[in-house]
Structure 1
Amino acid sequence: MNKIAKMTGSMLLALSMLQLPAVSSAFAADYLTPGQTLSHDGMITSADGRFAFDMQWDGNLVLYNQGTSLWGSGTRGDHVDIYDPFIGITYHRYAEVLRLDTIGRLRVTDTADQFTFWQADTNSWMNSHYQPPMIKPTGLVGDRLVVQSDGNCVLYDTTGNSGGSWLPVWATNTGGR
């Protein structure tokens, strides 16, 4: 009987250890990659859990520090009305989805991806960030949006630069808050 109890205990321990990576990866959602989206009430959180980038139900994309707003896209309630004269109906398209597309654009769009309500201005951000004596890299494309544990949400180029390092192309500039 003692041998069966030990084997059962070992088996249960082994099974529980096999489940740890699945649980850990579910909580490790601190980034978004090309082709991924955040819809209503979807969020990505920093590795330490203090910061959350939340695509809210009202259409606003907000970065929170434990419930306190640090940055927002300003798209709350944004919508486009489309009138169809053939059937006499007005359709409404709302800001509902955060998208990181395959060409590096980070945008808040409607669900059909027909209208952009907000887009990260990577060119202006890089112009202000890469000031002399630094040389602004060319050809950078954002391919990973990361909610960092320092409170900053950063869109990085992780593959297109020659040095192999991650270079920022846009950020909320909220680090340290």
Structure 2
Amino acid sequence: MDKNFGRLAVAAVAAMLLAGGTAAGATAATAAPTQHTQAADLENEATPLADASFPKGTKICKNQALTSGNGRTVLRVQEDGNFVLYKDGRPVWQAKDAWPKGNCAVFQEDGNFVLYDANGRPVWHSNTWHKGERLVVQDDGNVVIYDANNQPVWATNTGD
């Protein structure tokens, strides 16, 4: 088949569709309306959460962060030494007395979440020694430490 013939045929079909006509084998330019149902709304709202769970031994230092699965919640050790939780890009929590001393935050093997200064001295802690099992940065804007029974033992209380 001649290339020019193929191009002309495509152009002719496109012109007919734009003019409101139809062509055999051509797809209509406007889609048929779809029926809107409440079940479809529920299906769209039922997207699973993607909370990010971090094990013991997790460590972040200046300019590093732990982020929720959907990216909405970010727990960051900032360059200036502050330890801050951001939700939707806005600060919603900070560790008491962290600024300007914070250097690294560690979810320790003993279950305590501790922010240390550059000399290795603790600046802030979650007070979850021998209780914390996993650290979770949740999609709802909360950071929670859960025990072995999946019960919260510490939280920023910043969730929706």
TM tier, smaller:
0.5 to 0.7
Higher helix fraction (1 or 2): 1
The structural deviation recorded for 1:110 is 2.5
Question: What is the match of residue 73 of structure 1?
Answer: 95
- Structure 1 unaligned spans of 5+: 1-27, 79-94, 124-139, 159-164
Q: Is the 8 A contact 1:31 1:44 kept in 2?
A: no
Instruction: Write the distance in 1 (CA, Å) between the matches of 2:108 and 2:51.
Output: 18
Paired letter, 2:66: I
Determine which of 119, 123, 130 is the counterpart of 1:117.
Answer: 123
Matching residue's letter, 2:58: Q
C-alpha separation between the residues in 1 aligned to 2:81 and 2:136?
A: 20
Query: How far off its partner does 1:175 sit?
Result: 1.0
Q: Structure 1 residue 29: deviation in Å?
A: 8.7
Using the size of structure 2 for normalisation, the TM-score is: 0.62
Alignment of 1:85-164 (within 5 A): 95-111=102-118, 113=120, 115-122=121-128, 141-158=131-148
Q: How does 1:18-97 map to 2 (within 5 A)?
A: 30-74=52-96, 75-78=98-101, 95-97=102-104
| Percent identity of paired positions between Structure 1 and Structure 2 | 35
Larger Rg: 2
Distance in 1, Cα, partners of 2:83 & 2:135: 14
TM normalised by structure 1 equals 0.57
Cα distance, 1:66 vs structure 2: 2.3
Question: What is the CA-CA distance between 1:144 and the residue it aligns to?
Answer: 1.1
Counterpart of 1:72, as a letter, is Q
**Number of the residue aligned with 2:157:** 173
Task: Mark the runs of 5 or more structure 2 residues left unpaired by the alignment.
Answer: 1-49
Residue identity opposite 1:120 in structure 2: S
Query: Partners of 1:122 and 1:29 in 2: how far apart?
Result: 20
2-side partners of 1:29 and 1:109: how far apart? 25
Partner of 1:14: none
**Conservation of the 8 A alpha-carbon contact between 2:65 and 2:75:** yes
> Does structure 2 retain, via aligned residues, the 8 Å contact 1:110–1:116?
yes
One-letter code aligned to 1:107: V
Q: Is the 8 A contact 2:51 2:136 kept in 1?
A: no
> Could you tell me how far 1:150 is from its partner in structure 2?
1.1
Amino acid at match of 2:80: D
Superposition CA RMSD, Å: 2.0
> Residue 136 of structure 1 aligns with which residue?
none
Aligned residues, how many? 110
